[in-house]
Every structure is written in C-alpha cells, then in structure tokens.
Chain A
Amino acid sequence: GAVVSQHPSWVICKSGTSVKIECRSLDFQATTMFWYRQFPKQSLMLMATSNEGSKATYEQGVEKDKFLINHASLTLSTLTVTSAHPEDSSFYICSARDSEQIQETQYFGPGTRLLVL
C-alpha cells in the first residue's frame, strides 16, 4: 500500500517551454501533497504544499507563477514549470499523506528528472 507515482520519470525540454509533472496516490486518498526539489547529494528542499481544492502554499523564495500547482482531486496533484530555463533543471519529487492515517507520514513518488536545454 501507500504507493505514489510520478509522470514523467524524466523529461528534456527546450528553454522557454512549460513542463507538467503529475503526482498520483494510487491506493489512498491524499488531501495534502508536497513538492520538493533535490540537488545532487543534498536533502530535499520543500517547494510547496498542495492542498486538495484550495491554493497551494509556497515556501519562501519559490515563485508561484513559475511553479504552478493544481490539486484538483484527492489522488492527483500537478506541478507545471512555466517558461523553463536551464537553472530549473533538477530532480523534482512529490509526496503524499494518507488522509485516513493519524500518523502524518509522507509517501514519496519516484521523482522526475528535468533537463532544460
């Protein structure tokens, strides 16, 4: 149980294009999902908290117009990197919390590797 998927697993795009990454909880409902960015050999950097049916909460320094988050259902959150530039190249990981669990454990997706040329 508690499986989270991400799609795509990797993407290469040209500078200036937009890229959408999907995060799905496959066997549980998640009112809260999180989006992280990770640089090589470093820990996770929280970008935003995605709440089903409401606006995402962004961390300080993360541009909400640059990283659009939509959490339209209890099993799906999407992150759109708009007008991507090479500095946006990174490993993006989402996580989800099981709404029915008392423990607030996060279950992570496999990550999406983004390379902007």
Chain B
Amino acid sequence: TQLLEQSPQFLSIQEGENLTVYCNSSSVFSSLQWYRQEPGEGPVLLVTVVTGGEVKKLKRLTFQFGDARKDSSLHITAAQPGDTGLYLCAGVSTNAGKSTFGDGTTLTVKP
C-alpha cells in the first residue's frame, strides 16, 4: 500500500504570511495532483505535476515535484483569507490505477 504523508495537518496564519505544505512518500508516482476543497464542496484541481523536478506556478501558489517523483510541495506567498480551505495532494501510482491521497492540510488564513 502506497502512503502519502502530508504535513502540516493544520495551519493557521495571518493574512500576508507565507506557508509551505509538504507531501512525502517512499513510492514513486507517475503524476501528482494538488486539490483545494471548501466545506460542503468537492475538491477542485489546482495542478498536476508529471516530471521530476517540475515547478508550476498558479498566481501566488508554487508547486514543485521532487526530482525522484516521490514528494511534492505547495508554497503560498502572501496568503489571503480566500486561500482558506483543505488542501489535498494525490499521487498516481506508476503502474496506473488508484490515486493515493494525503491526509490533507486544513489552512486558515485570518484577516
């Protein structure tokens, strides 16, 4: 069973601060996705990373896929209250099939 450890589990910060969320595994993934979920709604895809070492930017969000495709990070610059939500990473196994989800990071950005 592939495990994907996500940290931190909870994060409460002030508006304007920076933060980083990590997803780590001992397994290699063919791709990895980051999602953001708000209460009562389904997860919304933020990004898919495929290539080892890949860096993608989405406005104030920067996503990085580890060189060995076993880990990933999400960095938010100058967080805003609208960034509040549950952030989930999901790794797709190299032999296809199911995705493995991290336990999620609940982010609260206080105005």
| B42-50, B58-66, B69-77 - the one binding chain A | B42-50
| A43-51, A67-75, A82-90 - the one binding chain B | A43-51
- Give bound CA distance, A43 to B86, whole Å: 9
B31-A111 in contact (CB<8A): no
B106-A41 in contact (CB<8A): yes
Interface of A is mostly: strand
Say whether B27 faces chain A, with CB atoms less than 8 Å apart.
no
- Give bound CA distance, A15 to B97, whole Å: 34
Q: Separation in Å of the B28 CB from the closest CB of chain A?
A: 14
- The size of the chain A interface, using a CB distance under 8 A, is 23
- Give bound CA distance, A41 to B103, whole Å: 10
Contact residue among A43, A49, A103, A105 (Cβ-Cβ distance under 8 Å from B103) = A43
With A42-B103, A44-B101 known as contacts, the answer to whether A104 contacts B92 (CB < 8 A) is yes
With A42-B103, A103-B50 known as contacts, the answer to whether A93 contacts B31 (CB < 8 A) is no
- Give bound CA distance, A4 to B98, whole Å: 18
Contact residue among A46, A95, A105 (Cβ-Cβ distance under 8 Å from B48) = A105
- Give bound CA distance, A34 to B101, whole Å: 13
A104-B104 in contact (CB<8A): no
Residues B88-102 near A (CB distance < 8 A): 88, 90, 92, 96-99, 101-102
Interface of B is mostly: strand
Say whether A29 faces chain B, with CB atoms less than 8 Å apart.
no
- Give bound CA distance, A44 to B37, whole Å: 11
A103-B106 in contact (CB<8A): no
Residues A93-117 near B (CB distance < 8 A): 93, 95, 103-111, 113
**Contacts A46-B101, A106-B45 given; 7 further ones with Cβ under 8 A?**
A42-B103, A93-B42, A95-B42, A103-B31, A108-B43, A109-B42, A111-B41
16 A-B pairs in the complex with CB atoms less than 8 angstroms apart: A34-B98, A42-B103, A43-B102, A43-B104, A44-B101, A46-B98, A46-B101, A49-B97, A49-B98, A103-B48, A106-B45, A106-B90, A106-B99, A108-B35, A108-B44, A111-B41
